[in-house]
A = this chain, B = another copy of it.
Amino acid sequence: MQVIQTVAEMKKVRRDLKGTVGFVPTMGYLHEGHLTLVRRSREANDFTVVSIFVNPTQFGPGEDFDRYPRDYPRDFAMLDLGHTDYVFLPPPGEMYPSSYNTWVEVLQITDRLEGAIRPGHFRGVATVVAKLFNIVAPTCTYFGQKDVQQCLVIKKMIQDLNMNLEMVIVPTVRESDGLAMSSRNIYLSPDERRQAPVLFQSLMTARKMWLEGEKDAEKLRQAMVDLILQMPLGNIEYVSIADALTLRELAKAEPPAVVSLAVKFGRTRLIDNMLLE
């Protein structure tokens, strides 16, 4: 495994690669979800590049940029065990020099859910991902379904800007009790951690009702809210039943639909989602 620490070197290494390149962009502090993306990339490509970059422009003021967990030695060890070919660590000063001023924005779909609560978040995501795509020039990129809105934003950007790569969305990897894997789970206190699987449980409840014929989105939503309210440490930010392409809220849960939610435990925001299909 080779660690690459400048944009110029990454571009040079890439130019010399003959074959397909799979790319997994991450913010580090890796978990089994990331490693699943790496495996998917390795299965389908000649080379796999993983980037680790805690992207400042996707964090709002007061969010957790400064305390976002970082542990490069641990990440490197995990990626090396996973047979990653290249780890790219873009230097912040090269990614965003002081004169930096260009932004990629996907409109409309970014107004809802995460975008409504975190204004500017998806502008930062789309911009850094566009930059990384240009630097790494992958054949295919791998994202986790857990961040469903992010997946839709990146997919739309690739399509609208005619970018030359495929995107594969990989199912969410979960802990044994159903909690979606996330670097932010480390923030949870033991009590919060015990209650956090309620996100998954509420999704499963909605899915079960839906499979049994309940299509009224408000009823599905209410059942989820009722369940979450039984966990005293959780504060609901949203519970959404939306069109799985546009994220417009649905009155009737016709497929393709996606149930998604954000719940805060203390200062920690957890998100999760499930497709109704």
Interface residues of A (CB under 8 A from B): 7, 11, 100-109, 126-127, 130-131, 134-135, 137, 156-157, 160-164
Q: Is the CB of B105 within 8 A of A11?
A: no
Copies of the polypeptide in the assembly: 2
Across the interface, which residues of B come within 8 angstroms of A156, CB to CB?
A: 101-102
In the assembled complex, the Cα of A157 lies from the Cα of B99 at a distance in Å of 12
Query: How far, in angstroms, from A109 to B100 measured CA to CA in the complex?
Result: 11
Specify which of A103, A109, A131 lies most central, judged by the most chain B CB atoms within 10 Å of its CB. Answer: A103
Query: Which B residues are CB-close (under 8 A) to A162?
Result: 7, 11, 131, 134-135
Report whether B161 and A102 are in contact in the complex, using a CB–CB cutoff of 8 Å.
Answer: yes
When distances are taken between beta carbons in the complex, the residues of chain B under 8 Å from A163 are 134
What residue in chain B is nearest A101 (Cβ atoms)? B107
Of B7, B103, B108, B161, which contacts A105 at CB under 8 A? Answer: B103
- How near does chain B come to A8, taking the closest CB pair, in angstroms? 10
Q: Which among B11, B100, B105, B107 is the interface contact of A160 at CB below 8 angstroms?
A: B100
A103 to B107, CA, bound (A): 8
- Which listed residue, B135, B160, B164, touches A101 by the CB 8 Å rule? B160
In whole angstroms, what is the CA distance A126 to B105 when docked?
12
Most buried by B among A109, A160, A164: A160
Instruction: Look across to chain B and name the residue whose beta carbon is closest to the beta carbon of A108.
Output: B101
> Which residues of chain B are near A157, meaning CB under 8 Å?
102
| Extra contacts besides A102-B156, A105-B105 (20): CB < 8 Å | A11-B162, A11-B164, A100-B160, A101-B106, A101-B107, A101-B108, A101-B156, A102-B104, A102-B105, A102-B106, A102-B126, A102-B157, A103-B104, A103-B105, A104-B104, A131-B161, A131-B162, A134-B162, A134-B164, A135-B162
Question: Which residue from chain B places its CB closest to the CB of A14 in the assembled complex?
Answer: B164
Q: Please, which residues of chain B bring their CB within 8 A of the CB of A161?
A: 102, 104, 127, 130-131, 134
